[in-house]
Each structure stands twice: as structure tokens, then as C-alpha cells.
Amino acid sequence: MTNPFVERQQAMAKAAAELDRIATEFPELFHSYLEFIKAEDQAPPKTAPRQSMPSRTQASEPSPGAEAIGRRLAPRLQGKTLYDAAYIIMKETGQPMRSAEIADVLKAAGVTGEGSPDNLRNGVFTAMGRHPEMFQKVERGLWALKNDDDRPARAIDLAS
């Protein structure tokens, strides 16, 4: 049985010996190659470095708009399922929304999910995905209500 560490050391020793042979046989070529490698190491990266994303554990505060909508709809959202609450919020705003925006409105209304704020956002996303008769994905992360003509009749008490 061979040791992978020993095999790697042997391979590196072989490569070093080969580089020494090339350096003695072709000194100009070897030195120009070394200059090229140094220039590559000092060159700026070819792609922009990735921007760090905000930590998922940091709870973000709802926007002022979400706060206002949440306070106004709070009595109507209490006790509703996440998809019913999402429907009420989107019906009120009249525009497509992201699940994070809906979660912000729910937080402002005092509706809490289990655990972290991410759980509420993920719960909203999952609830809307499980009810294609009510919601449709417009683009990545953006949801809209299905047209009333496309949706089967379902009793949702919007007034209470």
C-alpha cells in the first residue's frame, strides 16, 4: 500500500528536477516564463471580486412602506394562513411582490414565523409555491396574483 503523501512528494521532486533541467537547457525561455508567471500573479483579477452578501442571520427592519401596510392590515392578517395573508397583502398593494417584502409586511403586522426572520420569508415563499391557483411567479423571486378569471372560487374573508 502506497502513502499518498509520499507519492505527492515524489511527484513534486520529479517536477522540480524537470524544471531544473529546462532552466539549464533553455535559460532564456525559462526566465521569460518566470517573468510571465510573476506578471500574472501581480495582474488584477480578470473578474470583479464577489461582493459579500448580508448575513442571513441578521434581521432586517421592514421598510417604512411595509410598516404602514402592516399596521393597516394587522387586524385582517391575524390568524390567517401564510398564503391567505400573502393574498390579502398583494390584493391590497395591487402589484407583484417578493416573498421578503410580504414577510416584512407580516412582521410589521405582528405575524411571526417560527424561529428566525428567514423562516417567515421562506414560509411565505413555500406557501405561495404550493398554491399555483392563487399565485404565479413573474420572474425569479417575484410573485403576482393570478387573474381572478384564472383562479377557482375560494372563500377568503377580506373584510375581517
Give the model's confidence band at 152: pLDDT under 50 very low, under 70 low, under 90 confident, else very high: very low
Does the predicted TM-score (pTM) go above 0.75?
Answer: no
- State the Cα–Cα distance between residues 101 and 85, nearest whole angstrom: 12
The pLDDT tens digits of the residues spanning 2-18 come to 788 888 889 999 988 98
Q: How confident is the model at residue 57 (pLDDT cuts 50, 70, 90)?
A: very low
- Supply the DSSP symbol for 34: H
Mean pLDDT of 110-132: 81
Asked if residues 85 and 77 have their Cβ atoms less than 8 Å apart, the reply is yes
DSSP string, 70-102: HHHHHHHHTT--HHHHHHHHHHHHTS-EEHHHH
User: Phi/psi zone of residue 157: left (φ > 0), alpha (ψ -120 to 50 degrees), beta?
Assistant: beta
CA distances in angstroms from 134 to 47, 53, 88, listed in the order given: 41, 31, 11
**Distance, CA of 19 to CA of 136 (rounded, Å):** 61
Please give the Cα distance from 49 to 116 (Å, whole number): 29
For residue 39, the model assigns a pLDDT of 80
Cell numbers standing for residue 14: 520529479
Domain boundaries along the sequence of the chain:
4-40, 64-145
Q: Are 69 and 108 in contact (CB under 8 A)?
A: yes
Fold of 64-145: Arc Repressor Mutant, subunit A (1.10.10)
**pLDDT of 32:** 84
State whether residue 59 is helix, strand or coil: coil
| pLDDT value at 24 more than 60 | yes
Question: What angle do the packed helices 82-93 and 64-77 form, to 10 degrees?
Answer: 120
